[in-house]
Amino acid sequence: MKNHKRKHSHRFKIIDYNLKEVDERCSCGDNRTRPTTTKEKKKFKKEHTQMLKSIGEMHKLHHDFDKVFKKSVRYPLKKKLWHKNAKGKLIKNHIIREWRWTGYAMMKRVRSWVNQNPTAQISSCDDDVYAGSMLVLIPHHNKASWHGITVIYIPQCTGEKPTRFFLYPHHQFQLMDKMNHFDNVLRQFKDGRSELRLYRRSKHKAKDLLRRNALK
């Protein structure tokens, strides 16, 4: 008696799409491309709009910061580097976003901005000449998800421009883990415990001040 091999019935799932075509793949490994249906176009447009809105909400605070503290500067390109963009416009300049201020002038303005945008946070540090400087922490998140934290280092007296770096969640956890390690080491020293008491006292004073101002 012959064994009849059961015919495979494809079950395609969408792996990529645009408003013109849909790419699909079956569990057997077969792929196919087909035109996007009218119903799918409406669905994809809605999803794309929601995605852009979600991304806009996630990075809004960061973009607001850049609008205040950065400016566009045009640098002329050499003629041999002139080129046309996708719309056919001739590009003769290279545009770079640069900081409007540096040092104490920027620190003073950033502190005022953070007071108006308390979702962002400020932490203190020293620059290379041991002058009090600033770390600005700007979270990227919306109601549904957390993307990470932009950290901006603003030295006060070294003349350097502010430096920016980004912490994804795994970077954040690594940094917290290392800082917790040093926190435990710090507590073993008398001056470390003294600094901790002073810090806690200053935090309580700041909370009391905020509470009094709220009651006024």
Tokens (6 digits) for 44: 């994809």
At position 27, the amino acid (one-letter code) is S
Q: Angle, nearest 10°, between helix axes 190-215 and 169-186?
A: 120
Expressed as residue numbers, the domain containing 175 is 170-216
Whether residue 185 lies inside any domain: the answer is yes
Residue 34 has pLDDT above 80, yes or no: yes
Whether residue 137 lies inside any domain: the answer is no
At position 18, the amino acid (one-letter code) is N
Report the domain count for the chain: 1
Name which of 176, 168, 131, 129 is nearest 151 in CA terms: 168
Whether residue 177 lies inside any domain: the answer is yes
Phi-psi domain of 187 (left: phi exceeds 0; alpha: psi -120 through 50; beta: other) = alpha
Whether residue 120 lies inside any domain: the answer is no
At position 68, the amino acid (one-letter code) is V
Residue pair 140/62 in contact (Cβ under 8 Å)? The answer is yes
Whether residue 8 lies inside any domain: the answer is no
Whether residue 201 lies inside any domain: the answer is yes
> What is the per-residue pLDDT across 158-183, written as a single tens digit (0 to 9) for each?
999 999 999 999 999 999 999 999 99
Reduced to 3 states (helix: H, G, I; strand: E, B; else coil), residue 163 is: strand
> What is the per-residue pLDDT across 77-124, written as a single tens digit (0 to 9) for each?
998 889 888 888 888 888 899 999 999 999 999 999 999 999 999 999
At position 179, the amino acid (one-letter code) is M
Tokens (6 digits) for 63: 């973009």
Whether residue 210 lies inside any domain: the answer is yes
Whether residue 96 lies inside any domain: the answer is no
- Rounded to a whole number, what is the distance in angstroms from the first to the last CA of the chain? 94
- In the chain, how long is the greatest CA-to-CA distance? 94
d(CA 33, CA 127): 57
> What is the per-residue pLDDT across 13-33, written as a single tens digit (0 to 9) for each?
989 888 889 999 998 889 999
